[in-house]
Amino acid sequence: MKKCLLFALLFCCVANAHALTITVLPSESQLTVGDFFHVDIIADIAQSESVIGWGLDFSFDQTLLSLSAPPTINTALWRQIYAADGDGLAAALPSFLSPAVYGEDLLLATLTMEAIDAGFSSLGISYTASDRREGFSRKTGFVTNIQYIQAAVEVSAPTAPVPEPATIGLLGMGLMGLACVARKRKTRNL
């Protein structure tokens, strides 16, 4: 009996260890300068931490990557109620009378980005606790138990095309043929 009670208590603690997980999921991690790619922000929200709104900071190396379009909020679940504060994303349910949202693999937003220079950039999600527009809000307050799963991308410089050895050999043979024809003409004219 004590073992069953201990196992149940341990299972509950582990199950609630991260009631809210936010994952940054780029469509590609190996890029070339000039490539466009998408970044999905995915949430796993436990029913006990159902949310009615959220705001996040999105960070990346702005010398290597740029946002090529405004972020797209998942309008099936959320509506954007105010502009992000310059460094992030924000959305909420249509009204406070709506039921709170929970579930696995919930798409919060999608960002379209462009690789503009070579290098390695992390893609991070966080929120500023002192900013009342950021974090995950419930009807009874804010979610405090959040796990962030970050991502990274590597951008390489475009490479110049390298001619194939057979192409160079064919060009060389053509030039030698032209030289022979020119030499024959020169000897005939003498």
Statement to judge: residues 104 and 146 lie in one domain: yes
Are 38 and 61 members of one domain?
Answer: yes
As for how many domains the chain has, the answer is 2
Which of 49-58, 106-115, 126-135, 176-185: highest mean pLDDT?
106-115
Check whether residue 136 and residue 82 sit in a common domain. Answer: yes
pLDDT digits (tens, 9 = 90+) for 78-113: 877 655 566 677 787 766 566 888 999 999 989 999
Tell which wins on pLDDT, 27 or 184. 27
Q: How far apart are CA 15 and CA 31, in angstroms?
A: 37
Looking up residue 105, the CATH number of its domain turns out to be 2.60.40.680
Instruction: Give pLDDT tens digits for 118-155.
Output: 999 999 988 888 877 788 888 888 888 889 999 999 99
pLDDT class for 16, splitting at 50, 70, 90? very low
User: 63 lies in which domain range?
Assistant: 17-156
Residues 87, 174 share a domain = no
The arithmetic mean of pLDDT across residues 151-179, rounded, is 82
Residues 133, 169: contact at Cβ < 8 Å?
no
Residues 175 and 131 in one domain: no
Contact, 65 vs 114, CB < 8 A? yes
Mean pLDDT calculated for residue range 175-181: 85
